[in-house]
Amino acid sequence: MRIFEDETLEDLQIGGLSLIQKKTGFRFGIDAVLLSDFAKDIPSQKTLDLCTGNGIIPILLSAKSDTNEIFGLEIQESVFDTAIRSVELNSLQNRVFLTCGDVKNAAEIYGKRQFDLITCNPPYMPKGRGIQNPKSEKIIARHEVLCTLEDIIRVSAQLLKHRGHLLLVHKPSRLADIIFLMRQNEIEPKRIRFIHKSISSEPSLILVDGSFKGGKELRIMPPLYLYNDDGSETDELREVYGR
């Protein structure tokens, strides 16, 4: 398996899985791990991860869930190449299927009403804020340069089966936008969980679960605290990582 000088091989500490990452380019963070854990118990025969990046979420879901087919869509060819090699490294070619393409064209790529579950760890920052290099892997991963939150939710509504689920990890400041756009596209918010770095801090992330044409019943889950006052990981975070 090719691993280049500008790449590292990360032990994911679950199921014997590893991931190839760029040393200085796009690298997965805790948000991807939290999203995969949030998704693991939702029954799905066919799952799609939008903005899949280096394939971290499909690869984690291959160990955390019993989903038969896990798809991933990534627009950046350089990042996609890394993801493909990670799938091959873990011998997941018969279960994880990645495509290089634009989220906005996902309904044409896969067909409508194909998926029980869609996950997405999208760019957090609205287009135009602090962008230095619009072609940078990190900028594209963090800013709405090539797709917006509206694109992701609109396309997900086309791809999901009836009562299929869309799961997002995002910043709390975008929660009103998420709920508005979900309902505008017939995706009913079902679960929201706030992620806090510590018990005394404001939430730094949110996890949102919406169901396509689902009933109107929203559950606010208990908050997830990542670190104790002494800086050590909480028991729940250790459980998320499988430590």
CATH code at position 69:
3.40.50.150
**How much is the pLDDT for 197?**
96
Kindly state whether residue 82 falls inside one of the protein's structural domains.
yes
Burial of 132 (0-12, 13-18, 19+ CB in 10 A): exposed
- Assigned token pair, 138: 């990190």
In eight-state DSSP terms, residue 63 is H
**How much is the pLDDT for 233?**
93
CA distance 212 to 118: 11
Decide if 62 contacts 70 (C-beta within 8 A). yes
Kindly state whether residue 54 falls inside one of the protein's structural domains.
yes
Low-confidence ranges of the chain (pLDDT < 50): none
**How much is the pLDDT for 130?**
55
Kindly state whether residue 1 falls inside one of the protein's structural domains.
no
**How much is the pLDDT for 125?**
63
**Which residue(s) pair with 47 in the sheet?**
70, 117
CA distance 186 to 4: 44
**How much is the pLDDT for 84?**
97
Decide: helix, strand or coil at residue 7. strand
Write out 165-205 in H/E/C secondary structure.
EEEEEECHHHHHHHHHHHHHCCEEEEEEEEEECCCCCCEEE
- Domains in the chain: how many in total? 1
CA distance 192 to 237: 17
User: 196 lies in which domain range?
Assistant: 7-241
**How much is the pLDDT for 27?**
81
Kindly state whether residue 2 falls inside one of the protein's structural domains.
no
Kindly state whether residue 11 falls inside one of the protein's structural domains.
yes
**How much is the pLDDT for 171?**
95
